[in-house]
Chains A and B, each alone.
Chain A
Amino acid sequence: MSRQDFDRRSSQGDRLLSVDGLNVEFAVPGGTIRALRDVSISVETGETLGIAGESGSGKSTLALAIVRYLDSNARVPSGEIRFKGRDLLGMSRRELQSLRGNEIAHVAQNASRALNPSLTIGEQIKETVELHQDVSGNAAAMERVYEVLHQVNIPDPEGMVDRYPNELSGGQQQRALIAVGLSCNPELLILDEPTTGLDVTTQAKLLDLIEELKAEYDVGIVLITHNLGVIAQIADRVNILYAGEMMEKGTVREVFEEPANPYTQALLATTPELDKNKELRAIPGQIPELGSIPDGCIFADRCAFATEECRSGDIDVETVSPTHQTRCRRWETAVADPIETGTATRRSSTPGDVILSIENLVKHYDEGAFLRNLLGDHQPVRAVRDVSLTIREGETVGLVGESGCGKSTLGRTLLRLHDPTTGRITFRGTDLASMSKAQRREFRSECQIIFQDPEASLNPRKTVNEIVPRPLRLFTDLDEPAREERVEELLDQVNLSLDLKTKFPHELSGGQQQRVAIARAFAANPSLVVLDEPVSSLDVSVQASILNLLSELREEYNTSYLLISHDMGVIESVCDRLAIMYLGKIVERGTLEDVFEPPYHPYTRSLLSSIPSLDPDDDTDRIRLEGDVPSARTPPSGCSFHTRCPQKIGEVCEAEEPPLEAVDGTGGDGEAAHCVSCHLDREEMSRPLDDI
C-alpha cells in the first residue's frame, strides 16, 4: 500500500505513459523485421489516445511492447517506455507481474480467442480481483465481479458469471474481456481493436461504454483500431502509424480537419462515409515488408505527393502546430492541396427484366431434430421467415442487418446451396424446384457467390491458374488455349499481375485472394453474383479497391449483385436498392434514397445512427439498441423488433405483425416501392431523433 502511495506521489508531474523513440525488431529466418521504428507516444490520465493504421502497421506490437509481452524472437534495440516515471523496460519479472492486470490492463484483440474457453466468465474475472486486490473471502471477490460486469453493461451479471465464453455473443465476449481488464481499477487501459468484427449497433454501445469508463475512472486509454470513425468519435488525440513509423499525431480535431500527412489523407479518402456520396479512393499498392527498410520515406511508393526528394535520407517529424506533428517533407503541399474526396456520380441505371425472384421464402435449420424431439420440446432455427424479393438485370440489391439476422442464409438459399423449407424461387421465369438437369447446370453457371473469407473459399492445394478457369471447365466448352486466354483476360480485369498465376492462395494477401475469388466468379459470365460480406475481412484501403473493382465489373458484364453486408457505408457505395433484414424478415426496402432518408423503420434508423462519423464535431443524438438480436429459435411475437424498438407503441406491436407495405399509402408494393413493416404512421417514422 504505502509503496504505491509513494509511487503515486513521486510520479506527480510525470506522464502516465510515455514511449520514446521505441524500436522493436523480430528475428526471423533470413533477417530481421523492423516492426517499430522510432515510435513515441504519450498518454495522460483522463484521456483517450487513438492509434490507427492499416493492419501490419505495428499497432498490436506497440500495445504488447508496453506490457512487455513481445514474442520471444523480439528485441528492443533502443527506446524507452516509462509508466508513471518508472522504466518499464528495466523491470524484473516480479515487478511486471504486479503491474500487469493491476495498474496496466491490456485488452487483446479478438475476444473470442482471448478468453479461456474452459473457465466461466466469473472465474476469469474473479481471478484478477483475488490476485491484485485486498479482498477477503469469496463473497467480497464475487461482489466486485458483479460490480464490474454491471459496469460494462452485461445483462444479468448473476447469470453471466456461470457461463462459458462460447455461450456469449461477440459483443458480450468483448464486454467480458473488458471487465477482466477493469476489475482492478487499472490506471492505463489498452484496448486493441475492441470493436473489430462487431455489428455497428454493438460497436456503438461499446464506444459509449469506453467514454463512460474514461469519465468514471481515473484512467488513461490507448485505443487501437483501424476504423477512423471510431477514433473520430471517442479519442482525444490520435497517432497514425504506417509500416512501423508514426506518420502523424495530434488532437483528433486537427488531424481529421486538416490532415497534414498524405497517408492520413489517403486513409480518410478510402473510408466510406454515409450520406456523403463519397467516391472511395483506394490507396494504391500495399504495406511493404519490413525486412529491408528503403532509404527515404516508407510511404513513398504509395504516396500521391511523392517526389524524388522523398526517396533519400531520413524523414524527420515536423511541427504543424504545438499539438500537431507530421512525418512528411511535403506536408505543406499536402495541406494546401489535399487529396480530394470526390463525389461519386450515382449511377442512373435502368434495370432490365427480373432475373431472380423469391416468393415467401422460408428456411429453417433443424439439426439434431430427431434426438432433440425425443428429449424434450424442440424449436428449429428460423433463419429466414417469409421473404420475398426480386432482382433485375444489371441491378445491385443490398441486404443489411446485424449478424444472426439470416442474411447469409437467404443468400445461400436463393442459390440453392441450401434447400428452402418452403417458398418459391424463380430464375428467368423458371421455378428452381422444377428445373431439368440441364437448366440447373445453366443456373449454376449463371449464379455465383463470393464469400467473406476468401482464403477459406479457395482450394489451398490449387494454384491461381487452376482455380480461376474451373467454372470454364465446368460450364463452357472452351478448349485449353481459349481458357488460358480467358484466364489472362480475367486476371487483368481484376488487376492481378500474371506472375501470380502460379501462386497458391496462402501465398497471396487477403485482397489478392478476394480478387482471385472474384475472377473465378466472373469466369463464366454470370448474370447474378451473391456477395456475402465480400470486404469485411479486409483492411479499409483494400476494401475500397475491391468495391471499385466490383463496380467496374458490373458495368462491364451487366451483372446483378446481391450484396450482403453489415456495413452501411459499403452498401451505399455500390447498391441501387436496399433491403433491411431483422430476425429472418425484411422490415424495410426501397431505393438508397428511400431507406437513408426519413421515413425510417425504427430498426433502420437505429442502424444508421450507430455508424460513427468521421467528423469529430458530429455529436448528433444516437439511438442505442438494447440487448442483442433475440434467438431465431423463438422470435418474439407480433413485430419481432418489439423487444428492442425505441419507438414501440405498445401492445399492438407485441400482438400484431405489421405487414410490409408501401409508406406512401398507395398500397402498391411493387419492388421499386418504399416499403416498411411497422405500425407507426409515416409522420412518426419521420420524426427527428431528439423527439424519440
Chain B
Amino acid sequence: MNTLYLAKRVVIAFLSLFIVSSLVFGMTMALPGSAAEIILGTQQTEESVQQVREEMGLNRPLHVRYLDFVVGTFTLDWGQSLVSDQPVVDLIAPRLARTLQLALFAMLLSIVIAIPLGVIAAADRDTIVDTLITSVSYVGVSIPSFVSASLLLLFLTTPPLDLFPTGGFVPFSEGFVPWLRHLILPAVSLNVIIFAYVLRQTRSSMIETLESDYIRTARLKGLTERSVLAKHALRNGLLPTVTVLAINFGWMMGSVVIVEEIFSYPGMGRLIVQAISERDLPVIQAGILVPTAAFIFANLLADIVYTYLDPRIQLGEQ
C-alpha cells in the first residue's frame, strides 16, 4: 500500500548521498592550495607534489575525477590511504563496525529506558513520579558528553568503584561480558543527552495522544488503563519519537569523535582524528561520507518504521 511512498523515500536517500558526495568533492577542490600540497604540508618540493598528484590521479581532467569520486562513493571505492597504502574501505570497515556497535548500543539504552520512562511520566502526568523523571531529564540535556564521559571515567574506573575498564575495545568473539564492560561507559556518556531528548519527546507526544478523542473512545469502551496505553496510545504516541531517534542517531555519529577519543575506543572517530593529523585526504573524505550516509539511512529507516506504524502516510493524498 505504501510501496510508492517508500520507493520515493529510497530514491531521495540515494539522491541525498549523491549530493553529499558532490559536496565533499567540491570542498576538496575548494581547499586553498592543491590537495597534494595540503597532504605534503611543509615538506613539499616540486617533485614530491608532482608524485602525489600522480599517485592520487589529480592530473586527470576535473570531470573524470568527479565522476570517479561519485561512482566510488556508491561502490565503496574510496581509493588508497596515503599513509598506510591500504584501501580506505579496509581501514573504515572494522572501525565503522565498532562505532556502530557503540552507537546502536547507546540507542538501545535510550529505547529501553528513556521511552518507558517517558510513557510513565505521561501516564502519571503532574504527579511526583512525573516531576522526578522530567527534572532528571532536564539535568541530562545540559550535560555535554565530554563532561559526562570524564565524570564516568573518574568515578567508575578508579578505586574504590573500579567497575569498568578505562577504555579500549574487546570484540564480541572474545566474550560477551568483556565486550559489554568496554561498551557501557562510552555508550552511557553518548547517551546522556539523547536520552533526555527521547524521554521528553516521548512524554509530550504521549500526553497529546492521551488527550485525543480516540483515547476517550477506548476508555469509554471499558478498557483498563493498561490496555488503553498498550493498544491505543503507544503506537500513535511513539511516532514522533521515531523521528527524534533517527535525528539523534546522526547527531551521535558526530559526537562519537569526542567520546571515542576519551575512552580510547578504536572506532571511526579516532580514525578521522588520526587521518586529519596525518593529512590522509582519502580517509578524511570517507570519514565525512560514511557518517553522513549513516545519518541518511537512519532517516530512511525511521521513515520505514513510521509508515509501518502510521497507515495514513500515502503519497499525493491528503
Once the chains are docked, how many angstroms separate the CA of A160 from the CA of B192?
A: 46
Once the chains are docked, how many angstroms separate the CA of A371 from the CA of B217?
A: 38
Once the chains are docked, how many angstroms separate the CA of A102 from the CA of B223?
A: 10
Once the chains are docked, how many angstroms separate the CA of A97 from the CA of B311?
A: 29
A117 at the interface (CB under 8 A from B): yes
B60 at the interface (CB under 8 A from A): no
Q: Given B3, B220, B223, B312, which contacts A164 in the complex, CB threshold below 8 Å?
A: B312
A478 at the interface (CB under 8 A from B): no
Q: Which residues of A contact B214 (CB under 8 A)?
A: 113-117
Q: Given B3, B232, B312, B316, which contacts A367 in the complex, CB threshold below 8 Å?
A: B316
A614 at the interface (CB under 8 A from B): no
Once the chains are docked, how many angstroms separate the CA of A164 from the CA of B220?
A: 20
- By a beta-carbon cutoff of 8 Å, the part of chain B in contact with chain A is 3-4, 7-8, 212-214, 216-224, 231-232, 235-236, 309-312, 315-317
Please tell me if the beta carbons of A118 and B213 are within 8 angstroms of each other in the complex: no
Please tell me if the beta carbons of A371 and B221 are within 8 angstroms of each other in the complex: no
A128 at the interface (CB under 8 A from B): yes
Tell me which residues from 67 to 105 in chain A have a Cβ below 8 Å from any Cβ of chain B. 67, 69, 96-102, 105
A1 at the interface (CB under 8 A from B): no
Q: A106-119 vs B: 1/0 string, CB under 8 Å?
A: 10101001111111
With A97-B223, A101-B221, A131-B222 already in contact, the answer to whether A372 and B316 are too (CB < 8 A) is: yes
Q: Which residues of B contact A97 (CB under 8 A)?
A: 222-224
Once the chains are docked, how many angstroms separate the CA of A98 from the CA of B220?
A: 10
Q: Which residues of A contact B219 (CB under 8 A)?
A: 69, 100
Once the chains are docked, how many angstroms separate the CA of A101 from the CA of B217?
A: 9
Please tell me if the beta carbons of A371 and B212 are within 8 angstroms of each other in the complex: no
13 pairs, CB–CB < 8 Å, chain A vs chain B: A96-B222, A97-B223, A99-B222, A100-B219, A100-B221, A116-B217, A117-B310, A118-B310, A118-B311, A127-B231, A128-B221, A371-B7, A372-B316
Q: Which residues of B contact A623 (CB under 8 A)?
A: none
Please tell me if the beta carbons of B8 and A371 are within 8 angstroms of each other in the complex: yes
Q: Given A114, A131, A177, A375, which contacts B4 in the complex, CB threshold below 8 Å?
A: A375
Please tell me if the beta carbons of B213 and A114 are within 8 angstroms of each other in the complex: yes
A132 at the interface (CB under 8 A from B): yes
Which residue of B has the minimal Cβ distance to A120?
B311
Please tell me if the beta carbons of B312 and A166 are within 8 angstroms of each other in the complex: yes
With A116-B232, A367-B317, A372-B4 already in contact, the answer to whether A180 and B223 are too (CB < 8 A) is: no
Q: Which residues of B contact A127 (CB under 8 A)?
A: 221, 223, 231
Shortest Cβ gap from B126 to chain A (Å): 9
Once the chains are docked, how many angstroms separate the CA of A368 from the CA of B219?
A: 39
Please tell me if the beta carbons of A118 and B8 are within 8 angstroms of each other in the complex: no
Please tell me if the beta carbons of B236 and A117 are within 8 angstroms of each other in the complex: yes
Q: Which residues of B contact A180 (CB under 8 A)?
A: 217, 221
Once the chains are docked, how many angstroms separate the CA of A97 from the CA of B221?
A: 8
Contacts A116-B217, A367-B316, A372-B4 known; list 8 others, CB within 8 Å. A69-B216, A100-B222, A108-B220, A113-B212, A117-B312, A118-B235, A180-B221, A372-B316
Please tell me if the beta carbons of A98 and B312 are within 8 angstroms of each other in the complex: no
Indicate the member of A118, A127, A131, A375 with the most B CB atoms within 10 Å. Answer: A118
With A119-B232, A131-B222 already in contact, the answer to whether A114 and B311 are too (CB < 8 A) is: no
Shortest Cβ gap from B239 to chain A (Å): 9
Q: Given A116, A164, A375, which contacts B236 in the complex, CB threshold below 8 Å?
A: A116
Please tell me if the beta carbons of A132 and B212 are within 8 angstroms of each other in the complex: no
Please tell me if the beta carbons of B222 and A69 are within 8 angstroms of each other in the complex: no
Please tell me if the beta carbons of B216 and A98 are within 8 angstroms of each other in the complex: no
Once the chains are docked, how many angstroms separate the CA of A692 from the CA of B43?
A: 100
Please tell me if the beta carbons of A368 and B217 are within 8 angstroms of each other in the complex: no
Which residue of A has the minimal Cβ distance to B236?
A118
Once the chains are docked, how many angstroms separate the CA of A625 from the CA of B8?
A: 40
Nearest 7 A-B pairs (CB), nearest first?
Answer: A368-B316, A101-B221, A101-B222, A100-B222, A367-B316, A113-B213, A116-B214
Please tell me if the beta carbons of A108 and B213 are within 8 angstroms of each other in the complex: yes
Once the chains are docked, how many angstroms separate the CA of A118 from the CA of B222?
A: 19
Q: Which residues of A contact B311 (CB under 8 A)?
A: 117-118, 164, 166
Shortest Cβ gap from B127 to chain A (Å): 12
Once the chains are docked, how many angstroms separate the CA of A132 from the CA of B223?
A: 9
Shortest Cβ gap from B215 to chain A (Å): 8
Indicate the member of B213, B236, B309 with the most A CB atoms within 10 Å. Answer: B213
Which residue of A has the minimal Cβ distance to B224?
A97
Please tell me if the beta carbons of B220 and A132 are within 8 angstroms of each other in the complex: no
Shortest Cβ gap from A182 to chain B (Å): 12
Q: Which residues of A contact B221 (CB under 8 A)?
A: 100-101, 127-128, 131, 180
With A117-B311, A367-B317 already in contact, the answer to whether A98 and B218 are too (CB < 8 A) is: no
Q: Given A99, A108, A164, A166, which contacts B217 in the complex, CB threshold below 8 Å?
A: A108
Once the chains are docked, how many angstroms separate the CA of A23 from the CA of B236?
A: 35
Which residue of A has the minimal Cβ distance to B211?
A71
Shortest Cβ gap from A380 to chain B (Å): 11
Indicate the member of B212, B217, B310, B311 with the most A CB atoms within 10 Å. Answer: B217
Shortest Cβ gap from A683 to chain B (Å): 44
Once the chains are docked, how many angstroms separate the CA of A131 from the CA of B228?
A: 12
Q: Which residues of B contact A114 (CB under 8 A)?
A: 213-214, 216-217
Please tell me if the beta carbons of A110 and B315 are within 8 angstroms of each other in the complex: no
Q: Which residues of B contact A164 (CB under 8 A)?
A: 311-312
Which residue of A has the minimal Cβ distance to B313?
A166
With A113-B213, A115-B214, A116-B236 already in contact, the answer to whether A69 and B220 are too (CB < 8 A) is: yes
Which residue of A has the minimal Cβ distance to B214?
A116
Please tell me if the beta carbons of B222 and A98 are within 8 angstroms of each other in the complex: yes
Shortest Cβ gap from A384 to chain B (Å): 18
Q: Which residues of A contact B236 (CB under 8 A)?
A: 116-118
Shortest Cβ gap from A113 to chain B (Å): 4
Indicate the member of B218, B224, B232 with the most A CB atoms within 10 Å. Answer: B218
Q: Which residues of B contact A98 (CB under 8 A)?
A: 222
Once the chains are docked, how many angstroms separate the CA of A117 from the CA of B316?
A: 18
Tell me which residues from 487 to 506 in chain A have a Cβ below 8 Å from any Cβ of chain B. none
Please tell me if the beta carbons of B220 and A110 are within 8 angstroms of each other in the complex: no
Which residue of A has the minimal Cβ distance to B239?
A118
Indicate the member of B213, B222, B235, B309 with the most A CB atoms within 10 Å. Answer: B222
Which residue of B has the minimal Cβ distance to A376?
B4
Q: Which residues of B contact A69 (CB under 8 A)?
A: 216, 219-220
